[in-house]
Chain A
């Protein structure tokens, strides 16, 4: 009897259904909170830049929907890329490879939040903004994660568009359309993404190579990547300053974007000139770290200028100055 009982116990233990081990923190981590915080900031700038005011409650709800939509796309990305994440030191502790959340749970969570955030944004603001958010989620989860990431070295160049859309969605949430100003904000993030990620990829190229991800340093080598970082930074810096000359960035923005742009350029040159020599990784990580601060500062200053009303715009400020002097 005891033998039968032992066998039954063993059988039951083997067939024990898996029980979810994820905590709320694990599910929150699936949303890529650091990316989400940048999305909140950039979408908020798009929102406050709109020519018409928005009810604060509606504005808050819109930003929440955009942030959750971005988080949902991050969750779907983690679901799809779990095999890659497990092989890379930087991502191996994410909830799915760590075993705290199953792939099925992550997929269900991502789809639920995607549908919920799009519907909520549509009901609260307008269906153009909701459609734009849906497209962004699709772009990141399907176009970037499922297609580009594993197939081309230009993955983050094209895929970077998904991360650059939030200011346009924020603007669309208020106006129901997009304009050139919001497109310039898109362009800043779009051009910022390659030098930002390639700086990290230079240091982590071994990881990407082991995981079979065709990042630029893996496919074209470090030297070509360093040149591309420099070229993208050369194009990024003037675009970063452009809001001052388009009337939606003030004096503070002009000063900050010029100074930080110069620092970005200096770091890109340093990476290029250091080459494979001593300090190459340090230079790349400096660029990676500073590029986050760069984008953060540009959008924080724009937000401050538009929120507190001292962002008259370079053109308006200069014309007012000269007009007043005449």
Chain B
């Protein structure tokens, strides 16, 4: 929001920053899911072969 000695964001700037933050969050979330499934696909059936 606003720091005491920092700059004061206008409403439009805050709105746009929120828009970027939400998009970045969604992209990072999608990447987590993608990396998970790629890992599963790469390991394949070996995912069940765990050393005892």
Contacts and interface: CB of A to CB of B under 8 A. Distances in A.
B50 to A, nearest CB: 21
Contacts of B42: 58, 124
B7 A22 contact: no
A22 B38 contact: no
A21 B7 contact: no
A20 B23 CA distance: 15
Interface string B8-52: 010011001101101110000000001001101110000000000
Contacts of B37: 57
Interface residues of B, number: 17
A57 B16 contact: no
A68 to B, nearest CB: 11
A22 B34 contact: no
B9 A20 contact: no
A58 B19 contact: no
A17 B41 CA distance: 46
Interface in A98-131: 124
A37 interface: no
Contact of A22 (B12, B16, B22): B16
Given A16-B7, A19-B7, A24-B23, A61 B38 contact: yes
Contacts of B23: 24, 27
Contacts of A142: none
Given A57-B38, A124-B42, 10 more contacts: A19-B17, A20-B20, A21-B13, A21-B16, A22-B16, A23-B16, A23-B19, A58-B38, A58-B42, A64-B34
10 contacts: A19-B17, A20-B16, A20-B17, A21-B13, A22-B20, A24-B22, A24-B24, A57-B37, A57-B40, A61-B38
Interface of A: 16-17, 19-25, 27, 55, 57-58, 61, 64, 124
